[in-house]
Chain A
Amino acid sequence: MVAQEAPGRIDAGAEYAIRAADLGVSYDLRFTHKTTIRNSVGQMMGRGQTDQFWALRHLDLRVQRGESLAVIGPNGAGKSTLLQVLAGIIRPSEGAVDVVGHVSGLLTLGAGFDKELSGRDNILLGGAFLGLDDAVTRDLLPSIIAYAELGEFIDAPLKTYSSGMRARLGFSIATSVDPDILLLDEVLATGDANFRAKSKARVIEIVGAAKAVVLVTHDMNWVTEYSNRAVLLERGKMIMEGEPAEVVELHRLHTEESRARGAAEALAAGLDPRIVRRKKKRR
């Protein structure tokens, strides 16, 4: 799996967990979404231009071990794309990413492995998807079940679960594998207050074990309280990196600015600004 011949390689045994250099991810708009042959042939015959969209570009990032990095920014800033690259799901279009250690991620919420199967079978299937040894998964099974607090539902099919139950199961599986690097996308905001507290404790524990956590969140309290560092992404570019409180402050400012801009535009268009504000909030 390790590409030896790749240039710009960083020495193993380094103290960092993640390093990204001039990272860029582009989407070819011709192929995203459901393409039909008719459309793409039409486009190829047409101008032959490539519609490229850079979800992320010129990103330099370094995450040390034991660090908890928060990634914040408005929707469509490239936060989830960044996590997907770190998890190895998407390959960078330019630049390089170096990830040292086992990655475990919980990127999209609540999607189980197979809705028809029971919770128990889902854990086994999930372990197989994550590349765990079957014996290891079976050893972990009791602790995952206990942590997810599913009770007798563990033998019921996943489709009968509430979204909170699914999220708990997912979080429990993702953190049970004792990852070196944990990637979380908006997962702390799920479940009831009890489980939220529990999952926060678990994340703090992982950070404490000198392991790295990269977390995408809109929960600014979490960022200021529990992250060592934060980055602000906007439209695929890193706007700021530094102390959580300062980054959160800048994000707040930018959000207000864009909200004011939106309201002004709406006003110019003859709309009630209050409606616009409400819409923005909901996103």
Chain B
Amino acid sequence: MSATSEVPATFRHAAGRRGPIRLIREAIGDLRSRQRLVRYLVQADVRKRGADTLLGNVWWVLDPLLQMAVYVVFVTIVAPRQTPDYPLFVFSALLPWKWFTASMNNATSSIVSHDQLIKQIQFPKIVLPTASVFAGVASFAFGTIALALLLLFFPSRVSPYLVFIPLIAAVQFVFTLACAYLVAAGNVFFRDLGNVETHALRLWWFLSPGLYSLAALDELQAFQQNPTLGVIANANPFAILFTAYRSVIYGTPTGPATPPDFAALGVLLGVSVVLLAMTTILFKRLEPNFAKVI
């Protein structure tokens, strides 16, 4: 069979632990040889989601807008002082966050939900969480339609810096992929992960400057007394990401949009790449056990 892409002869032995570099190389090879599979999985996911609802994929645009509306109503009641153009302020953080949570939720169940298949055929399992993250990219892309609609209401906020969105999204992609491999592999061994994750993600959202700005934190008494809190808040990957998205989409409450903080993004990218390498190694090391444990 010359037509297939797999290596014809396979030799499997109990011994032989593979080194980290080799595992990463294998993972890259897996993804390269199974590009088509990743694409099919993403397509299937996109087609399935919203297939049984009346509005179909319109929900992809509507959903982030509705969630934004909920937060706007909520914050308007709670906070007396108003941030100008608050809907856009929230949306600039909500859009990337929805991508992240959707990717994480899908990735967590990606391996476990394919248990039948994993017991039936041998294929690189790393395609499954990878496809989850790419499906998230698709929903992010739909979300930018919602962003465009929203910007119609705030024409003064529109700026050429919007072209930096793909760049910021690329950094977020690497970070998300690293987290996806971790939760996908972890959930095989500890099914509690899904339950913990829901709450951990919600907490992360409220601890990140999504509904408020980092500057607002500095005014809090706790942050003034304890400067380390400020350092931690700034080191949060989503503080960096939200701030970057917000600076190109919204700007500041008083000023127009600015280019993102490239230094911070560069550091985050570096950290994410290291994290991705680590979780890839972990994933590949645990992968042979999936079929037994599931």
What CA separation (Å) do A89 and B189 show in the bound complex?
A: 17
Cβ contact of B13, chosen from A3, A136, A180, cutoff 8 A: A3
Residues of A with C-beta under 8 A to B116: 108, 111
Residues of B with C-beta under 8 A to A177: 1, 4
Cβ contact of B8, chosen from A27, A98, A102, A128, cutoff 8 A: A102
Known contacts A99-B9, A131-B33; is A6 also within 8 Å of B192 by CB? no
> Which one of A34-42, A141-149, A201-209, A232-240 is at the B interface?
A34-42
Interface flag for A91 (CB, 8 Å): yes
What CA separation (Å) do A100 and B15 show in the bound complex?
A: 19
Cβ contact of B12, chosen from A10, A92, A134, cutoff 8 A: A92
B3 near A131: Cβ-Cβ < 8 Å? no
B36 near A88: Cβ-Cβ < 8 Å? no
Known contacts A108-B119, A111-B120, A128-B34; is A136 also within 8 Å of B4 by CB? yes
Q: Which of B104-151 touch A at CB < 8 Å?
A: 116-123
What CA separation (Å) do A85 and B48 show in the bound complex?
A: 33
What 1/0 mask marks residues of chain A from 171 to 215 whose CB sits below 8 Å from any chain B CB? 000000111100000000000000000000000000000000000
A213 → chain B closest CB, angstroms: 16
13 intermolecular pairs with C-beta atoms under 8 Å apart:
A2-B9, A8-B13, A31-B293, A35-B189, A84-B291, A89-B121, A98-B11, A99-B11, A100-B8, A103-B10, A107-B120, A116-B48, A177-B4
A108 near B12: Cβ-Cβ < 8 Å? no
Cβ contact of A180, chosen from B1, B48, B189, cutoff 8 A: B1
Interface flag for B202 (CB, 8 Å): no
Residues of B with C-beta under 8 A to A134: 36
In the complex, which range does the number of interface residues on chain A fall in?
35 or more
B36 near A36: Cβ-Cβ < 8 Å? no
Residue of A28, A34, A40, A133 contacting most chain B CB atoms (<10 Å): A34
What CA separation (Å) do A177 and B34 show in the bound complex?
A: 17
Known contacts A124-B40, A129-B37; is A32 also within 8 Å of B293 by CB? yes
Total A-B Cβ pairs within 8 A: 151
Interface flag for B79 (CB, 8 Å): no
Q: Which of B205-233 touch A at CB < 8 Å?
A: none
What CA separation (Å) do A91 and B1 show in the bound complex?
A: 24
A134 to B, closest residue via Cβ: B36
A133 near B4: Cβ-Cβ < 8 Å? yes
* B contacts with A: majority SS: mixed
Closest 10 CB pairs of A and B: A128-B37, A111-B116, A88-B122, A6-B13, A1-B7, A131-B6, A136-B3, A91-B288, A94-B14, A96-B13
What CA separation (Å) do A137 and B185 show in the bound complex?
A: 30
Residues of B with C-beta under 8 A to A91: 12, 14, 288
What CA separation (Å) do A271 and B6 show in the bound complex?
A: 55
Known contacts A90-B291, A108-B119, A134-B36; is A100 also within 8 Å of B189 by CB? no
Residue of A10, A35, A93, A106 contacting most chain B CB atoms (<10 Å): A35
Interface, chain A (partner B; CB < 8 A): 1-3, 5-10, 12, 24, 27-28, 31-32, 34-37, 40, 84-85, 87-103, 105-108, 111, 113-114, 116-117, 121, 124-125, 128-134, 136, 177-180
What CA separation (Å) do A131 and B6 show in the bound complex?
A: 6
What CA separation (Å) do A106 and B166 show in the bound complex?
A: 43
Residues of A with C-beta under 8 A to B122: 87-89, 103
Residues of B with C-beta under 8 A to A130: 4, 121, 123
A133 near B291: Cβ-Cβ < 8 Å? no
A9 near B3: Cβ-Cβ < 8 Å? no
B11 near A9: Cβ-Cβ < 8 Å? yes
B40 near A128: Cβ-Cβ < 8 Å? yes
What 1/0 mask marks residues of chain B from 66 to 85 whose CB sits below 8 Å from any chain A CB? 00000000000000000000
Cβ contact of A114, chosen from B16, B36, B44, B190, cutoff 8 A: B44
Residues of B with C-beta under 8 A to A97: 11-13
B192 near A37: Cβ-Cβ < 8 Å? yes
B3 → chain A closest CB, angstroms: 5
What CA separation (Å) do A89 and B123 show in the bound complex?
A: 8
Known contacts A133-B5, A178-B1, A179-B1; is A36 also within 8 Å of B190 by CB? yes
Cβ contact of A90, chosen from B16, B51, B292, cutoff 8 A: B292
